[in-house]
């Protein structure tokens, strides 16, 4: 699909590409609005906290680009891209996106929910790091059967999380009268919002990349910025939109869920479709995996503070770790 989009956009002039970028941004913004509104509506109708909806339904939708890129890369034998996309997305989500969202608005934390979901988030990251270790080998390998176990854990995670959310929710009695939209209509609108975000993202990134090349921006700069977080753009837009609308807990839930799904869904599917599994590059032990664990632990510590929200200065720390990671990719590895 990416090759088709590039082939369609390449002949266009810079001015036409600018119009395409503007339209893509408008569709992206509207899709995020719809997604956040319907996610909040679902949390009301189902009696499930917004953070739980963000960590399951919304995250599953916004993680689809990462899954598509990684699975396709795994099928083509490119384990570096398949695994790097998953780990890189966790780093972008937890560092850059939470950092920006905290800087732009208040990220409210529900202690009970963050303790439950945060443990799963951190455990998923540690589990990925462990299975990547080179047991009795020169390189680590995430085997096909391990990928299937991840997928099984994914199904159990989504079901168990929604059921747990229903039991612990205190919102259902207070908010159930606020939204009377039929459930089917809400689900269809939610799917529409996700589709608008993913499709517009797929068009936006190549449009900006081609335009940047036309005006003389080096490809190395483009690769380090646009391409690096391109598949995480849905999470970025959804998180910022949620914060802007006063639903910071939905933004946190989306990122926590996206981190978990990047392990169980993205890595799981990528490993499951390859007979030889995913070979873990040696370089990943030097930077990618340590930074992933550092960000997950740092976020966990910030989320457990007594203030009940993630402050701007904590967002700056997370964003700073991401920025240092980005620089080290080009001066160390």
**Are 94 and 296 within 8 A, CB to CB?**
yes
The Cα 64–Cα 71 span in angstroms is 10
CA distances in angstroms from 75 to 152, 170, 261, 275, listed in the order given: 20, 45, 19, 10
Q: What is the pLDDT of residue 221?
A: 45
Domains observed in the chain? 51-175+220-331 (1.20.1420.30)
Q: What is the pLDDT of residue 250?
A: 80
Q: What is the pLDDT of residue 177?
A: 42
Cβ atoms within 10 Å of 73's Cβ, excluding its own: 20
Query: Residue-wise pLDDT tens for the chain (333 aa)?
Result: 667 888 888 888 888 888 887 888 778 768 877 877 787 777 777 777 777 877 787 787 778 777 777 787 787 777 767 788 788 889 999 999 999 988 887 787 777 778 888 899 999 999 999 998 886 566 788 989 999 999 999 999 988 887 887 776 654 444 444 455 677 888 888 889 888 877 887 787 678 778 777 877 654 445 444 545 666 777 788 888 888 888 777 888 888 988 999 999 989 998 998 888 888 888 788 888 999 999 999 999 998 887 778 888 999 999 999 999 888 876 765
DSSP line for 279-321: EE-GGGGTTHHHHHHHHHHHHHHHHTSTTSEE-HHHHHHHHHH
Predicted model pTM? 0.77
**Are 241 and 247 within 8 A, CB to CB?**
no
* Ramachandran assignment for 140, one of left (phi > 0), alpha (psi -120 to 50 degrees), beta (any other): beta
**Are 212 and 1 within 8 A, CB to CB?**
no
Q: Which two tokens stand for residue 8?
A: 């369609």
Q: In 3D, which of 298, 332, 327, 331 has the Cα closest to residue 315?
A: 298
The Cα 205–Cα 119 span in angstroms is 33
Beta strand pairing status for 107-108 and 140-142?
unpaired
Q: In 3D, which of 140, 138, 35, 36 has the Cα closest to residue 87?
A: 140
**Are 99 and 315 within 8 A, CB to CB?**
yes
The Cα 71–Cα 78 span in angstroms is 10
**Are 48 and 169 within 8 A, CB to CB?**
yes
């Amino acid at each position: 699909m990416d090759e088709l989009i590039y082939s369609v956009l390449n002949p266009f002039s810079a001015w036409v590409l600018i119009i395409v970028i503007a339209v893509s941004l408008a569709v992206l913004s509207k899709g995020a609005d719809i997604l956040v509104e319907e996610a909040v509506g679902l949390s009301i109708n189902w009696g499930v906290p917004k953070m739980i909806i963000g960590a399951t339904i919304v995250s599953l939708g916004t993680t689809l680009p990462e899954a598509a890129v990684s699975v396709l890369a795994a099928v083509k034998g490119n384990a570096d891209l398949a695994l790097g996309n998953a780990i890189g997305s966790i780093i972008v989500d937890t560092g850059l996106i939470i950092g920006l969202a905290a800087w732009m608005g208040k990220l409210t934390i529900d202690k009970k929910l963050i303790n439950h979901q945060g443990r799963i988030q951190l455990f998923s990251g540690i589990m990925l790091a462990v299975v990547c270790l080179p047991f009795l080998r020169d390189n680590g390998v995430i085997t096909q059967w391990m990928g299937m176990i991840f997928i099984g854990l994914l199904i159990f995670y989504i079901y168990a999380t929604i059921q747990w959310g229903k039991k612990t929710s205190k919102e259902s009695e207070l908010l159930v009268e606020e939204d009377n939209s039929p459930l089917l209509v809400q689900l269809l609108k939610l799917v529409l919002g996700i589709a608008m975000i993913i499709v517009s993202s797929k068009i936006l990134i190549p449009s900006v990349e081609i335009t940047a090349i036309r005006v003389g921006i080096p490809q190395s700069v483009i690769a380090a910025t646009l391409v690096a977080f391109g598949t995480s753009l849905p999470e970025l837009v959804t998180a910022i939109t949620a914060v802007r609308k006063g639903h910071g807990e939905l933004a946190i839930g989306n990122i926590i869920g996206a981190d978990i799904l990047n392990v169980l869904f993205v890595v799981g599917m990528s490993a499951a479709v390859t007979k030889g599994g995913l070979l873990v590059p040696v370089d990943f032990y030097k930077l990618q995996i340590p930074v992933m664990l550092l960000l997950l632990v740092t976020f966990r510590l910030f989320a457990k503070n007594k203030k009940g929200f993630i402050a701007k200065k904590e967002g700056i720390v997370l964003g700073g770790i991401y920025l240092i990671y980005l620089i080290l990719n080009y001066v160390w590895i």
